[in-house]
Amino acid sequence: MSIRINETHDPARRSWVESANTPGGDFPIQNLPFGLFRTDDHVRGGVALGDRIIDMAALLDTGLLVGVAAEAAQAARGPSLAPLLACAAEAVSALRAQLSDLFRQGGNGDIATLETCLVPMAQTELLLPLKPTAFTDFCTSIDHIKRMGGRDAPLATMSLPVAYNGRASSVVASGTPIVRPTGQFASPPGSNSILFGPEPMLDFELEFGVWLRDGNALGEPLAMPAAEDLMFGCCLVNDWSARGIQFFESILGPHLGKSFATTISPWIVTMEALAPFRVAARGRTSEEPAVPAHLLGASDRSHGGVDIELTADLAGEQIVRTNLKELFWTLAQMVAHQASNGSPLERGDLVATGTVSGAADDAKACLAEITMRGGVSIDLPDGTKRDWLEDGDTLTLRGRAMAEGYVPIGFGDCTGTIQPARARA
């Protein structure tokens, strides 16, 4: 595992782009995440800095990027970031280093020239950075499993990171409207009365995702260090859940109750940017099974976790506050386990954690937990109550990586607004 702190993480570094120095902002110069954006009909790649986007194509035209950094910038210019994921880690690191130097106060770049490469983020449409080649959704929070399935977590969920293969074609960027799905469900829940219609128990799941830069050959499992090296960068994930459909259909596992939409934040925060926020993986108590050999690694035990505060807002009210470091399994363990049977991972795969619930009451990271499956309503600032999401509701996820002595970084909003179910022709 190569988790290195370098000059791009320097907490004293400031940018001449003043909005990047705003306390509490997601995109200080220590972050520099990659994304795709559109102005008019022009789609291209860029890097977030404060409230601006560094246009990679425009920056390449200046000739200020050199060596392998210029090669990585060429891969990041769009109209997809898939080529960037194919770049060597050293090239992407070199690009971040040169960007950090060009846009820092006292850096080597000509500010007048560099200003021509900046696009106001508010004047753009942020897009899906690339189409995922595959999407896997894990369930790696023991607190979520206990609340959803009973007090005692099944032995399997404590012995391995369980998951299902999701629907990559329905992964969408933040801001995409979410249409309430229709399907079959029991009404009332648990009865023998089966209806087909708009989902009555629409939910969200506050999750976290990692994009993979490469894969493994069919039949060849991955060791833990190799799994870590495959991780390119991260995003926020909301795996919208149709609980009525899900609970009724789950004989073989999630299907239509999960496949209708998954929203992600549009920026890919690199693993290098997250290096200062790595922490020890969650330990195991004497009553819990030991970590299996294929998922055990000394470096992962010492630095496999990431300290990221995650929140969910509904109608302007914060209803969830949890932390990624509380998960029972690490990101690298999820990746390694996905390939443990020889299943081939591929460049551009998106792997999600599942609901990031913690032990605290405010760390319940979906409405099924918060409302006890609709049994206890939550109050919103406008005086209304919610058991489940209603048409017109807007749900926003946010994340903030924090560590003492370092500048916090964020991921941008992960937002979706519920639209009514569509009438059948």
Residues acting as catalytic residues: 144
Q: Which helix (H) or strand (E) holds 198?
A: strand 194-198
Distance CA 265, CA 175 (A): 9
245 near 196, Cβ under 8 Å?
A: no
Q: Which residues contact 298 (CB under 8 A, 6 or more apart)?
A: none
Residue 287 burial (CB < 10 Å; 0-12/13-18/19+)?
Answer: exposed
* 8 A C-beta contact, residue 395 and residue 312: yes
Q: In degrees rounded to 5, what are phi and psi of residue 415?
A: -125, 145
In degrees and rounded to multiples of 5, residue 176 shows phi and psi of: -70, 130
For residue 63, give the nearest of 102, 32, 33 by alpha carbon. 102
CA distances from residue 121 to 35, 231, 411 in whole angstroms, order as listed: 11, 27, 14
Residues 6+ apart with CB under 8 A from 277: 306, 307, 308, 401, 402, 403, 406, 409
Q: Whose CA is closest to 147, among 156, 139, 135, 159?
A: 139
